């Protein structure tokens, strides 16, 4: 017996049945499903624990890293990814300067955005002192990618560059325009013909360049779930495979030209599993076209989700992007962009760009996330989660195929409607505080002012078909309206917390009420608690608050609230009296006494705050 066997022989194994028995005993009659099963927005039910036995009969476990069908990822020896920096500038010289600075300070690849190149000279200026044999360059904007490809080919030839070493991508995607405008820029047939010509041009002249960009992050930024983002992205990519193979392009030449961009959101383990699930699913699709070698390996670029980022408390965005980037790295992305923390309200400056760049550098070169291939492999939880997401995404993928493929599903509004269902549920969960957004609907900093730091473009949803926006935006618009009112009137409405009765309940209700009204940017006047009604009413009236919130237990309100409401209204009928809680048995009595409203966990905070802004004259 070796030492390991001797050590573990002292610990008898515990069966699944014994675990379950103990859990049921500890629940003491509570509902197992409600207490311990977490249901995702996709309807996936996740158990509270997983064991080795849960890995049996799961299709996507096993295999070797870097080997088809990529159950263990596409990397054979490590988990390396490229640190990419996105250059957002419409000035060519400035874009070149920003790119070279980023490369000098740790970026490994570059993407040019919002920049259209119209001549060979402009391309030469843009790529000045950038070695495109060593640096991967992605182009995200062009009126004609065929024309841009010709310019790049000329640049390669005139500068004696080895075309085999030139890597990068074009952001060609016919469906992106439709997804945000409800129509094609030209026609789908025209776009596919252009793509056909572009691929034929690049097969020999830009052999390592990826042409088609599947922007899955657009689905996520419109509110799609993890499963939807994955399924819709795979379906979109498959549409290109089908349409181009009909034109007799070799399938391998198509597959090699496709790259995916996925968002990375706040659901840490779900995101890891999404990236892992994408690899065998894509392999399963291209296998049907006879591609089963290294060309079947998916190329994934990761970018932080827009959905959960905020204008207020923007430094929290750094924390969000850190965990999101960890998930993308552990999931095995090929390249990654970390979004600067201030991108919700301004263009990146030197500081925010440096922080974003360094987040990746730390993950890669200090935390060594790049060293181990498929680091999540073998985790009971993540393996099961990967399989669950893969199954759900594959079922949705097949449903889209039954609709006639991605193009028809999109044109029939199926894609749009399905995303909007999830987005509406998410919006309602945020409004009801089932989803917390730190600094916005949870622990907001009422001293923070952002009205002079942003422009309309950052608070206006993008697109009139699918709509890209942030979940925090409805709260932020309320808060900005309060700020604008304060600028014009020199004051912010105050909310007085009338805490009385049971110390535990009044503190809990006061904390809830503070978060509730601070979300609108109102000034909060908190109190330790009043010994009697007289003391509290006197302080409330002296505060000159516009809103008085009575904070106690539901059982005690019948002793306090009617008299408090009557006395405050007798003094000033324009003051609003609100009760924190849901004292169902005496609600009508309290209303007759002068209570204007009630707030509790079932209140739609957004609608409530909008209503009270109007009542207080905060209308612009």
Is 434 among the domain residues? Answer: no
Give the β-pairing of 494-499 and 109-113.
unpaired
Digit-coded pLDDT (tens) for 447-469? 999 999 998 888 888 888 999 98
Digit-coded pLDDT (tens) for 170-209? 999 999 999 999 999 889 999 999 999 999 999 999 999 9
pLDDT of residue 608: 98
Q: Where in the sequence is the domain holding 35, given as residue range(s)?
A: 3-55
110 Cβ partners below 8 Å, 6+ apart?
84, 85, 87, 99, 102, 103, 130, 135, 136, 137, 138
Tokens representing 339 are: 């979004």
Around 40, how many Cα atoms within 13 Å sit in the side-chain half-sphere? 20
Taking alpha carbons only, the member of 351, 616, 326, 322 closest to residue 486 is 616
The CATH code of the domain that includes 605 is 3.40.50.280
Out of 36, 55, 74, pick the residue that ends a domain: 55
Is 298 among the domain residues? Answer: no
CA distances from 283 to 227, 240, 241, 335, 337 (A): 17, 15, 13, 19, 24
Give the β-pairing of 38-39 and 576-580.
unpaired
Q: Let me know: does 274 contact 333? Beta carbons within 8 Å.
A: no
Is 353 among the domain residues? Answer: no
Digit-coded pLDDT (tens) for 498-511? 999 999 999 999 99
pLDDT of residue 378: 92
Q: Let me know: does 549 contact 580? Beta carbons within 8 Å.
A: yes
Alpha carbon distance 541, 496 (integer Å): 9
The pair phi, psi for residue 39, each rounded to 5°, is -105, 125
Q: Let me know: does 156 contact 164? Beta carbons within 8 Å.
A: no
Is 262 among the domain residues? Answer: no
Q: How many domains does the chain have?
A: 2
> Is residue 36 pLDDT above 70, yes or no?
yes
Digit-coded pLDDT (tens) for 587-607? 999 999 999 999 999 999 999
Beta bridge partners of 259: 213
Is 496 among the domain residues? Answer: yes
Percent of the chain with pLDDT over 70: 99
Is 201 among the domain residues? Answer: no
Tokens representing 460 are: 């206006």
Digit-coded pLDDT (tens) for 62-71? 889 999 999 9
Tokens representing 51 are: 């064991």
Is 341 among the domain residues? Answer: no
The model's pTM: 0.95
């Amino acid at each position: 017996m070796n030492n390991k066997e001797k050590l573990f022989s002292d610990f008898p194994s515990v069966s699944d049945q014994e675990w379950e028995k103990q859990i049921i005993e500890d629940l003491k009659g509570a509902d197992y499903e409600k207490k311990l099963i977490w249901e995702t927005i996709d309807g996936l039910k996740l158990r509270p624990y997983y064991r080795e036995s849960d890995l049996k009969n799961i299709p996507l476990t096993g295999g070797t890293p870097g080997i088809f069908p990529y159950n263990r990822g596409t990397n054979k020896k490590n988990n390396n990814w490229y640190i990419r920096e996105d250059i957002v500038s419409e000035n060519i010289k400035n874009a070149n300067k920003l790119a070279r600075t980023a490369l000098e300070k740790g970026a490994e690849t570059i993407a040019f955005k919002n920049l259209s190149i119209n001549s060979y000279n402009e391309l030469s200026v843009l790529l000045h002192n950038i070695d495109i044999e060593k640096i991967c360059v992605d182009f995200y904007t062009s009126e004609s990618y065929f024309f841009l490809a010709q310019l790049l080919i000329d640049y390669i030839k005139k500068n004696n560059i080895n075309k085999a070493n030139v890597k990068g991508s074009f952001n060609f995607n016919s469906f992106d325009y439709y997804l945000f405008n409800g129509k094609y820029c030209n026609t789908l047939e025209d776009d596919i013909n252009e793509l056909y010509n572009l691929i034929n041009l690049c097969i020999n002249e830009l052999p390592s360049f990826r042409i088609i960009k599947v922007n899955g992050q657009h689905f996520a930024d419109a509110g799609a779930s993890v499963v939807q983002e994955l399924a819709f992205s795979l379906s979109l990519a498959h549409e290109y495979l089908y349409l181009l193979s009909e034109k007799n392009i070799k399938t391998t030449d198509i597959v090699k030209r496709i790259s995916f961009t996925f968002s990375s959101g706040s659901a840490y383990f779900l995101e890891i599993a999404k990236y892992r699930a994408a690899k065998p699913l894509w392999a399963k699709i291209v296998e049907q076209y006879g591609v089963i070698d290294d060309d079947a390996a998916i190329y994934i670029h990761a970018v932080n989700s827009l959905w959960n980022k905020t204008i207020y408390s923007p430094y929290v965005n750094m924390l969000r992007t850190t965990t999101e980037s960890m998930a993308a790295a552990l999931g095995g992305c090929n390249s990654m962009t970390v979004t600067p923390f201030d991108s919700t309200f301004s263009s990146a400056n030197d500081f925010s760009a440096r922080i974003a760049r360094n987040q990746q550098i730390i993950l890669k070169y200090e935390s060594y996330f790049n060293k181990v291939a498929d680091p999540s492999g073998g985790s009971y939880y993540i393996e099961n989660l990967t399989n669950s997401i893969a199954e759900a995404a594959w079922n949705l993928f097949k449903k889209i195929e039954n609709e006639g493929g991605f193009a028809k599903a999109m044109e029939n509004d199926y894609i749009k409607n399905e995303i909007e269902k999830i987005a509406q549920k998410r919006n309602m969960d945020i409004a009801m505080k089932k989803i917390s957004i730190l600094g916005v609907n949870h622990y907001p900093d009422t001293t923070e002012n952002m009205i002079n730091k942003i422009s309309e473009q950052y608070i206006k949803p993008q697109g009139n078909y699918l709509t890209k926006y942030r979940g925090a935006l409805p709260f932020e618009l309320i808060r900005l309206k309060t700020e604008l009112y304060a600028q014009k009137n020199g004051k912010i409405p105050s909310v007085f917390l009338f805490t009385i009765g049971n110390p535990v309940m009044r503190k809990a209700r006061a904390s809830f009420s503070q978060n509730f009204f601070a979300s609108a940017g109102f000034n909060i006047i908190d109190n330790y608690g009043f010994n009697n009604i007289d003391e509290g009413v006197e302080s409330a009236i002296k505060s000159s608050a516009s809103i008085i919130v009575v904070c106690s237990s539901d059982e005690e309100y019948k002793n306090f609230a009617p008299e408090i409401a009557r006395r405050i209204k007798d003094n000033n009928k324009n003051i609003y009296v609100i009760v924190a809680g849901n004292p169902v048995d005496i609600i009508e009595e309290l209303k007759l006494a002068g209570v204007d409203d009630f707030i509790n966990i079932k209140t739609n905070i957004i609608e409530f705050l909008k209503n009270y802004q109007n009542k207080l004259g905060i209308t612009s």
